[in-house]
Amino acid sequence: MPRYSKPILLLCATHAFALFSMYGLAYRNGYLKALLRLKDFGPHLLPGSENPILKTYTGIAPLDKLITIAVVLFANITDGSAPHFSLYGFHFGGQLTSIWTVLMIEGYRFGNRGTPLSL
């Protein structure tokens, strides 16, 4: 068994659990269904506003559908109507940036050449 196979399997299992936890919960509590209903059947307005939902961004239907759902999902975080959501989004962005920076630095280290981290 190669040296890196156990950590890779552990990371894949953790990733699968995280995806199941996030999207499984959103599916089980009806959140995804409500998002799709809002996007497909209307009213075609962003939640809590009179602004219409833009449905075409790239011209590629599956990508446009994904972007439209993301816009509806993040609208309340970025519009400033709920400061606690905006603060949470800012906090999350800071954490994401720092984690991405550490991964980039570790990927460039000589000791990590040829490992999955350097990809």
What is the reported pLDDT for 42?
A: 67
- Supply the DSSP symbol for 2: -
Domain ranges of the chain: 30-118
Please tell me the predicted confidence (pLDDT) of residue 51. 79
- Rounded-to-integer distance, Cα 103 and Cα 93, Å: 15
SS3 of the chain: CCCCHHHHHHHHHHHHHHHHHHHHHHHHCCHHHHHHHHHHHCCCECCCCCCECCCCCCCCHHHHHHHHHHHHHHHHHHCCCCHHHHHHHHHHHHHHHHHHHHHHHHHHCHHHCCCHHHC
| pLDDT for the residue 13 | 94
Q: What is the mean pLDDT of each run of 10 residues along the chain (119 residues)?
A: 79 92 86 75 73 87 88 80 84 90 82 70
